[in-house]
Structure 1
């Protein structure tokens, strides 16, 4: 019962964090996503990758990576060392070693690692998590663009070795619930990330933050110690990268406001249960809402 109550709190916290993710491709976007998803459980670790995955050859090309840990994740290695080592290993990944179900790269995937891995041949991801004493690993694939098959965000969530299996099972359902809001944020921010110039530079991000606060180019130049001409060039680059024709549209898009909300259609992901679970348990209850009686 205690973990059920905790799971509800984790769901609220993580949904809130996902909603705060930038709607544009900032340099730290993937790290912020990992930090948001680390809210699913205090005892979890999260690896978030923006990558290309080939379903035919099992090859993976990592574009960007982020790592985060829940406050109760148990490890004898200091967090800073873990983060650096994990990111280095993640960015050198060249293959997944997983049996991905059909459509998972187009519709998305929510599954325990054990359901898509050959038990006789541990995957590089499995070895990565084992080295960090993580267990009950969950895999979440979020397609980034329907125009580029295989371009996706891959989230890998592992739990401390002392975590009970029911905890991971409930977080699997939470990831399924988070798939749509996260997909929408991913699509807004990362649809052009295969182009290295699509990512905002740190300086452009700083200028944009000050624009959002309502400052003029002259004031921003004074605060950053740059010429107004240099700041104006940054603003022009921001317009190009974000696809805005006016200052108001630039700020609106940066804040995640859509000109035509509701047009994006997010497919239901492929969902696989833990071994021994009934697939029907993974489906939400079909309950009709009833009006309250006075």
Structure 2
């Protein structure tokens, strides 16, 4: 029964990864008949190791993933707790909250680009109206503001995903736990740390792992919002790989970037799960 699903997973996931690993060990040249590969070993990886552009993309991708995932987990927890305590119109609240997540990323990125525009953007209008800024700001024109702006757009879109996972976990916690905590005289904060948080460990780990995988593969949001700019300030590994593959036509180096990204994602995921397990065992 699982064989068809297994074949699909191998065809669309495992095979491209393995084939990319093979391509990364070769020099790929275009020919009239298609392309030709010649084995060059780890030369493409050596190029990456000595490339400042590659290491900048690694730094940006890791920093972007860490900041956005932590922010989404914290905000997702707060919103999930609030929605879980809603007594009336809870389903409507969930539907409204899911609107950002349901939007295609390209559409939401274009919407945010309009909002960040330095001439007619609504963010400048609102901030000037409440006297946060005194003159219009071109939010996507400088490296720091572009990075922060992109993170804000990502957190706005993907926090509902975290909320849904944590909300499902909250609804699975037996009410008897809260009744016992109340009888023992535990306040809201102690109840959260001793009842809610331990019961949500699995949900938090699942949400964090999914978001790490998505954050490291971010492409469409920076591609539409900043196109990796200004300069290469918001150039993720995915954007760098796309540029090397399809603009410079360095297929071997582009495949090496893809393989390096997979290795990096696996490493960060293992670190996240190990760190989370250590926190849980320490509290236990």
Q: What's the TM-score, normalizing by structure 2?
A: 0.30
TM-score (norm: length of structure 1): 0.29
Higher relative contact order (CA 8 A, sep 6+): 2
Please identify the structure whose Cα radius of gyration is greater: 2
* Structure having the larger proportion of residues in helix: 2
